Amino acid sequence: MNWATVKPMPVPYLDYPPAVLPIDIGRQFFIDDFLIETTDLKRTFHYPEKYAGNPLLYPAAALETNNVLPAACPKSGGLWWDPDEQIFKLWYEAGWLSTVCYATSTNGLTWDRPKLNIVGTNGSNQIWPPKPNPQNLKPDSWTVVRDWLTGDPNAKYKIFIRPPGGTATNALCFESADGIHLSTNKMTISGVMGDRSTMFYNPFRQKWVFSLRSSFRGRSRHYWEAGNFMTGNTWSAQNLDGTGWQKGQPVIWTGADELDPSDPVEKVTPQLYNLDAVAYESIMLSLHQIYRGDRGSSNGIPKITELNFAYSRDGFYWHRPDRTAAIKAERTAGTWDRGYVQSLGNICTVCGDKLWFYYTGFAGDETWPNGAHGKYVNGAMGVAFLRRDGFASMDAGSQTAALTTRPVTFTGKRLFVNAAVTNGTLRAEVLDEAGAPVEPFTLTNSIPFSGDSTIQSMGWTGGNDLSALPQQPVRFRFVLSGGAFYSFWVSKDETGRSDGYVAGGGPGFTGPTDTVGTNAIQANAKMSGL
């Protein structure tokens, strides 16, 4: 990567796509042209809708309000569905740069602060600091990630935590059986990095990724990956400005670029404040936190950061086809998410037909005695909802239009789609390598789908079992008459399971991937809430 350029990040897999695309893992999206050979459908991008009942978690308990800058905000923390206990688990910062606490929920909307008695005997939900407190560290940038692949029951959660401060320093890395009992006996010290660094897991590469704050283009990112979170987290100190790279140092990664619009009010060059990511279905999904300015920060107004969708098919190269803020700062005095909007490390959960994007926002306080500190006051957590797979749709409008994929291979048997065609129809056919329809999976035999479903089986008169096809590349051709088409996949069975990744999980899921299909929708329907 060229640290000096402001051009968008290159995406080699889009410029030079493979001749044949395997699609066994996860739902297949139209966020880019990777899967598309030809189409006359129109792509439309969509954004989460904020919940009217926000904020869900706000400073109320003593640890969140007493003698601290009031806050109950997850930052990059983590929010994961635990299928064993059938609850959501949340890690959040209680009081700005003060401590880390733990909360649980059965429905994702109402949150309980369990009495843990882990730190002292105060009966609180506090989990940080462990005793002794390493380096007397206060939390600033930190992430909690569920490790689904470990065989060690004492290492099911990985925790990354860095102290505040603008100079390069180390972070602490922990393993824990439950994410709440931490021990210095299960701790290692990472290489140095800038503040607001985080980490995530890329299951496609089976690597732990350290998303390291650097400064080669204002706030920007360096990259380090390791197969082992605890032993692979050391590296040679690097110049955060991107110069003088040497082997053994993190590599220059990404930052804001010339396509990020300058804010009309703040009027500063955008910067990449943070980069969290998670595996969702067949891709790595990120909410890039874009810094837009902080002209009012000295008066207690939170800095302006907003969240922008980014997509990657390898976890390193990010495609950002739409620069509209997916979750914006409201900017208006009296709103809980006036500014400093931030993502969680798990990005989203999957609840039935919707993706739930939890996020941090700050109200600030212009009356705070120290005006500069007022920008870090009243941090809270809310949620916004998006149709499952709903990042982008291919639309026919009122016309009839078609989409043909590149050659694909699969081992599943049933074709499923996510589409909204209440006033139209969607039909599908299979084409061989020469482009000829394959019997009986032809357009003539296709049973049209009319309706709105995030998990709809497609069928043909004469047979539905695609596993009967010869093991050779084929193309899918979809013909849409009105409506919107979001994704497709070939499932192993009639449940519609995708075997793709489910981000932070959700009701009905039993692990990191979708092995249950429609059963997750049924499980979510039983969950109290919306």
Q: Which H or E element spans position 200?
A: strand 187-202
CATH number of 17-44+391-502+513-520: 2.60.120.260
pLDDT digits (tens, 9 = 90+) for 199-212: 999 999 999 999 99
Residues 6+ apart with CB under 8 A from 470: none
Mean pLDDT of 283-310: 96
Mean pLDDT of 247-270: 95
pLDDT band, very low/low/confident/very high, at 3 (cuts 50, 70, 90) = low
Give the pair of three-digit tokens for residue 475: 């193309």
Of 65-69, 468-472, 484-488, minimum mean pLDDT range: 468-472
Per-residue pLDDT at 504 exceeds 70: yes
- Please indicate whether the domains covering 17-44+391-502+513-520 and 49-387 agree at the CATH topology level: no
Give φ, ψ of 467 to 5 degrees. Answer: -70, -10
For residue 459, the cross-strand partners are: 447
Per-residue pLDDT at 347 exceeds 80: yes
- Mean pLDDT score of the chain, rounded to an integer? 95
Q: Residue 1: what pLDDT? A: 60
Per-residue pLDDT at 132 exceeds 90: no
Residues 6+ apart with CB under 8 A from 524: 351, 352, 353, 506, 507, 508
Per-residue pLDDT at 455 exceeds 80: yes
Per-residue pLDDT at 189 exceeds 50: yes
- In whole angstroms, give the CA distance from residue 406 to residue 416: 17
- Which tops the pLDDT comparison, 527 or 296? 296
Q: Residue 530: what pLDDT? A: 46
Q: Residue 371: what pLDDT? A: 84
> In one letter, which amino acid is 517?
G
**HEC secondary structure over 474-504:** EEEEEEEEEEEEEEEEEECCCCCCCCCEECC
Mean pLDDT of 297-316: 96
DSSP-based three-state secondary structure for 522 = helix
How far are the Cα atoms of 128, 307, 464, 490, 530 from residue 172, in angstroms, in the given order?
12, 27, 52, 42, 38
The neighbour count for residue 471, using CB atoms within 10 Å, is: 8
- In whole angstroms, give the CA distance from residue 115 to residue 104: 11
Left if phi > 0, otherwise alpha if psi is -120 to 50, otherwise beta: which for 159?
beta
CA 113 to chain centre: 25
Percent of the chain scored above 90 by pLDDT? 89
Per-residue pLDDT at 68 exceeds 70: yes
* CATH class as words, domain 49-387: mainly beta
Q: Residue 253: what pLDDT? A: 96
Q: Residue 8: what pLDDT? A: 94
Q: Residue 528: what pLDDT? A: 53
Mean pLDDT of 137-145: 94
Q: Residue 514: what pLDDT? A: 98
Per-residue pLDDT at 129 exceeds 90: no
User: 9: closest CA among 292, 257, 293?
Assistant: 257
pLDDT digits (tens, 9 = 90+) for 163-185: 998 889 999 999 999 999 998 88
Pairing of the two strands 449-457 and 414-431: antiparallel
Whether residue 132 has a cis bond before it, omega within 30° of 0: yes
pLDDT digits (tens, 9 = 90+) for 358-374: 999 999 999 999 888 99
pLDDT digits (tens, 9 = 90+) for 313-333: 999 999 999 999 999 999 999
How far are the Cα atoms of 92, 126, 286 from residue 177, in angstroms, in the given order?
18, 17, 27
The neighbour count for residue 411, using CB atoms within 10 Å, is: 12
Of 67-81, 352-366, 458-472, minimum mean pLDDT range: 458-472
Q: Provide the 8-state DSSP code for 41.
A: -
Residues 6+ apart with CB under 8 A from 105: 87, 88, 90, 111, 112
Where do the domains of the chain lie? 17-44+391-502+513-520, 49-387
Q: Residue 372: what pLDDT? A: 87
- In whole angstroms, give the CA distance from residue 138 to residue 68: 13
Per-residue pLDDT at 238 exceeds 80: yes
For residue 418, the cross-strand partners are: 487
